[in-house]
């Protein structure tokens, strides 16, 4: 089990916390808005009402022990700048920050952010590539009638474990790997209790006709 902190429980922070928690990770979610903390509380290990721009308040949370800290403070650029600076000064190893634009990203990287994410841009770029540049995996030659593809999970898969989805019995296909966005990693042969998130990319192998059925799911 890994340990994560998510600072900011708006839409993005909420779903990051929930996805990590449902993947059986330890998650601390922090926001100064009590209503947001109450909303995310069932989907996180610890929910804390706290102003993360306060360096002294951050010191007592043990964030330096986390595997990663995700900063998701919406469109408030000044807050994210302060928070990333404080986290870097505390010695946090990995800081992943949600940003508004390239300038915002460059500033946060100079202040110690390990990586930045622009959800809208990243999703749009992925869609454009899928539409204009079919993934090379889809053309990897295998045995006749078989294929290897990468698929954005249908909505009906989100929040369910691979065991619950039961792809082998229902569609006779196999998930051989998963590309995760948060935390960013590549999971080879994911276990049956792996919970699928909307930011994941599933790499599957099976008969072409069965893979096409999955692509058509909503």
The DSSP call for residue 183 is T
Do the domains 3-119 and 134-215 sit in the same CATH topology, yes or no? no
β partners of residue 205:
148, 174
Q: Into which CATH architecture does domain 134-215 fall?
A: 2-Layer Sandwich (3.30)
Binned average pLDDT, 10 residues per bin, the chain of 218 residues = 92 91 92 96 96 93 94 86 95 92 91 86 65 50 72 90 92 92 85 90 89 83
Please tell me the distance from the alpha carbon of residue 80 to that of residue 100, in angstroms, as a whole number.
10
Which tokens go with 96?
């992943």
Query: Which pLDDT does position 69 carry in this prediction?
Result: 96
DSSP symbol at 42? G
What is the domain partition of the chain in residue ranges?
3-119, 134-215
Res 136: pLDDT: 46
Q: What is the pLDDT of residue 216?
A: 82
What is residue 181's predicted lDDT score, i.e. its pLDDT? 80
CATH topology of domain 3-119: Rossmann fold (3.40.50)
Contact between residue 78 and residue 56 where contact means Cβ atoms under 8 Å apart:
no
Helix (H, G, I), strand (E, B) or coil at 212: helix
User: Other C-beta atoms within 10 Å of 106: how many?
Assistant: 13
Q: Strand, coil or helix: what is 167?
A: helix
Q: What is the dihedral of CA 20, 22, 28, 33, to 10 degrees?
A: 100
- Residue 139 has a pLDDT of 45
Q: Which of 147, 151, 154, 146 is nearest to 130 (CA)?
A: 151
Q: What CA–CA distance (Å, rounded) separates 49 from 29?
A: 9
pTM of the entire predicted model: 0.61
């Amino acid at each position: 089990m890994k340990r994560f902190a998510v600072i900011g429980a708006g839409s993005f922070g909420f779903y990051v916390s929930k996805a990590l928690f449902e993947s059986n990770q330890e998650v601390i979610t922090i926001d100064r808005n009590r209503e947001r903390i109450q909303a995310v509380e069932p989907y996180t290990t610890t929910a804390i009402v706290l102003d993360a721009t306060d360096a002294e308040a951050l010191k007592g949370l043990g964030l330096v022990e986390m595997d990663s800290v995700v900063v998701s403070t919406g469109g408030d650029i000044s807050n994210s700048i302060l928070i990333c600076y404080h986290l870097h000064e505390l010695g946090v190893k990995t800081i992943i920050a949600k940003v508004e634009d390239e300038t915002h990203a460059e500033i946060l990287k100079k202040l110690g952010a390990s990586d930045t994410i622009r959800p809208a841009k990243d999703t749009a770029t992925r869609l454009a590539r899928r539409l204009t540049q079919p993934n090379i995996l889809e053309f990897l030659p295998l045995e006749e009638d078989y294929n290897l593809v990468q698929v954005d999970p249908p909505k009906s898969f989100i929040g369910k474990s691979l065991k619950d989805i039961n792809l082998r019995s229902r569609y006779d296909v196999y998930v051989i790997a998963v590309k995760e966005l948060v935390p960013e990693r590549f999971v080879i042969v994911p276990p049956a209790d792996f919970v699928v998130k909307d930011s994941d990319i599933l790499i599957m192998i099976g008969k072409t006709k069965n893979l096409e059925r999955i692509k058509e799911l909503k």
